[in-house]
Amino acid sequence: MLMKVSDANSVLVFDPRGLVDSGDTPIAPRPKKLDGLRLAVLDNSKWNANKVLRTSTAALEKSVKFAKVNYYVKHSFSKDAEPELIAEIAANNDLVLTAIGDCGSCCSCCIRDSVALEKLGIPAAAIITTEFERETELTRTALGMQGLIPIVIDHPVSSITQAEIESRAAQVALQAPKVWLGREE
């Protein structure tokens, strides 16, 4: 088992972490423009995710003419979306907006869903809150997609007022086009 030996002047130490084999998978190709594309909105069913997503979509539609907006809800915010739901979204849409990553498991699963969709060629914008930026960095690294960029909005989300929802939606509307296009618009 061992690659090194100890002698009278040395002693062996052991790394308990195990190897990670994640590689670096590129994100999906980016479109040149957003008008005419079909947007999937993936609601993770967390408190206020629906309000943030609907308000953000309305804000985005002021400047982008989506061909269609399809709304999806996954049952558990702390679990990955079912593979069937990911496949359905990928088959019927060109872009994804998903929320809300405002808790540890919610953020992790929003990023995991986004990675799954990017691998299927769909640019995905996951909305997380400021408290979960570091977790997002580690998660995308562990999953081997360093290039995945999230939308970061102010924490918290689950108990905020409608005025605060609109303020978060403005942050989303500013960042989402950059994530989808892979550049400043």
Which residues contact another protein (rule: CB under 8 A)?
A: 1-6, 8-22, 45, 47-48, 50, 75-80, 103-105, 107-109, 112, 131-132, 134-135, 138-139, 141-143, 159
Minimum CB distance to another protein smaller for 69 or for 142: 142
Nearer to another protein, 19 or 91 (CB): 19
Residues 167 and 56: their CA atoms lie apart, in Å, by 10
Give dist(CA 29, CA 182) in Å, integer.
9
Minimum Å distance from CB 2 to another protein?
5
Helices marked H in 74-122? 83-92, 104-119
Residue 91: CB minimum distance to another protein, A: 23
Instruction: Match 């990670």 to its residue by tokens.
Output: 20
Bridge partners of 41, per DSSP, are 71, 97
Provide, rounded to whole angstroms, the least separation between the CB of residue 132 and another protein. Answer: 7
Give me the least distance between CB of 47 and another protein, in Å please. 5
Complex with another protein: residue 53 or 64, whichever CB lies closer: 53
For 115, phi and psi rounded to 5 degrees? -60, -40
Residue type, 113: D
Provide the minimum distance between the beta carbon of 72 and another protein in the complex, in angstroms, as a whole number: 14
The two tokens of residue 166 are 């609109």
Do residues 98 and 125 touch, judged by C-beta distance below 8 A? yes
Q: How many CB atoms lie within 10 A of CB 137?
A: 14
Q: Do 148 and 115 touch, CB atoms closer than 8 A?
A: yes
Residue closer to another protein by CB (options 47, 170) is: 47
**Considering beta carbons, is residue 80 or 88 the nearer one to another protein?**
80
